[in-house]
Amino acid sequence: MFTLRFDLRAPSWAGAAADLYVAAIDMCAWAETRGAVLAVLSEHHGADDGHLPAPLMLASAIAARTGSLAILLAAVPIPLWDPVRLAEEISVLDLISRGRVSYAFGLGHRSQEYEHFGVEMATRGRVADGILDVLGSLVRGEPVEYRGRTVRVTPPCGSPGGPTMLIAGGSKAAARRAGRHGLGFVSQTDLPGLKEFYEEQCRAHGHEPGMIQFPVPGAPTTVFVADDVDEAWDVLGPYLLHDAVTAASYRPGDDSVASISRADSVAALRAEGGPYRIFTPAEAADHVRGGHLLPLHPLCGGVPPDVAWPYLERAAAAHE
pLDDT classification of 266: cutoffs 50, 70, 90:
very high
Contact 275, 259 (CB under 8 A): yes
The per-residue pLDDT for range 124-164, each reduced to its tens digit, is 999 999 999 999 999 999 999 999 999 999 999 999 999 99
CB 44 within 8 A of CB 54: no
User: For residue range 187-207, what is the model confidence (pLDDT) as tens digits?
Assistant: 999 899 999 999 999 999 999
Residue 122, burial from CB neighbour count under 10 angstroms (0-12, 13-18, 19+): exposed
Closest CA to 146 of 231, 54, 84: 84
Local confidence band at 217 (pLDDT 50, 70, 90 cut-offs):
confident
> Where does the pLDDT of residue 320 fall: very low under 50, low under 70, confident under 90, or very high at 90 and above?
low
**Quick one: how far is CA 80 from the chain centroid?**
17
pLDDT band at 15 (very low <50, low <70, confident <90, very high): confident
Written as one letter, the residue type at 229 is V
pLDDT digit string, tens, across residues 74-91: 999 999 999 999 999 999
Average pLDDT, the chain: 96
Banded pLDDT at 258 (limits 50, 70, 90) = confident
Query: For helices 194-204 and 172-181, what crossing angle results, to 10°?
Result: 30
Whole-angstrom Cα distance, residue 175 to residue 192? Answer: 13
Residue 184 CA to residue 200 CA, distance in Å, equals 13
